[in-house]
Chains A and B, each alone.
Chain A
Amino acid sequence: AQSVSQHNHHVILSEAASLELGCNYSYGGTVNLFWYVQYPGQHLQLLLKYFSGDPLVKGIKGFEAEFIKSKFSFNLRKPSVQWSDTAEYFCAVLRQGSSNTGKLIFGQGTTLQVKP
């Protein structure tokens, strides 16, 4: 079965620490990749997306992610986190060229807690 795996379920960092959240998927074809963030009590918002081209994509609020096709990975990074980054982060994969083109699969989510 197609799946998206986020390795870290709960991450605790101090302010100014660097962040890397892992995301791996199991589909071998062409994919569109997304990272969404959900701040406490709010709905999901897009952080960044990858469709094609440069595998290093930059998003809002200083976040970036690198698509490594050979590793089926799309890890999220931020050089220096802030307390306001405390949220839940979701990786999502949309498969292209499959019979279920519109099916978006989310990872389980990673809760990030940043201590001031």
Chain B
Amino acid sequence: EAQVTQNPRYLITVTGKKLTVTCSQNMNHEYMSWYRQDPGLGLRQIYYSMNVEVTDKGDVPEGYKVSRKEKRNFPLILESPSPNQTSLYFCASSSRENQPQHFGDGTRLSIL
């Protein structure tokens, strides 16, 4: 089954404690992306990747890092999380950047 898998689904942690949210897709997609969803703001793109070792900033990259060492994986790293990064995060992938994206089920992060 074609899917985008995110882990963990839920995480409560404290300010400053580094965390990584993993994202993996099994569709051999070139394009992957991370979004955060906040009430009244819709989805905002954090980072995207057009292919392996190619990443670029979206609209709200501050406080986040990503890497794309393999085609299937695109982890989101919060080196020093802060409360304003409390949000619902979605990973997505598509065969190319202009194709419809497949979304993961989301990761709800709470930073205390």
Contact = CB atoms under 8 A, between A and B. Distances in A.
Contact of A43 (B31, B41, B44, B104): B104
Contacts, number: 60
Chain B's interface: helix, strand, loop or mixed, by majority? strand
Nearest to B39: A109
Nearest to B105: A43
A106 B44 contact: yes
Given A94-B98, A96-B98, A103-B58, A43 B42 contact: no
A51 B90 contact: no
Interface residues of A, number: 25
Contacts of B105: 42-43
B103 A45 contact: yes
Given A43-B103, A102-B50, A107 B42 contact: yes
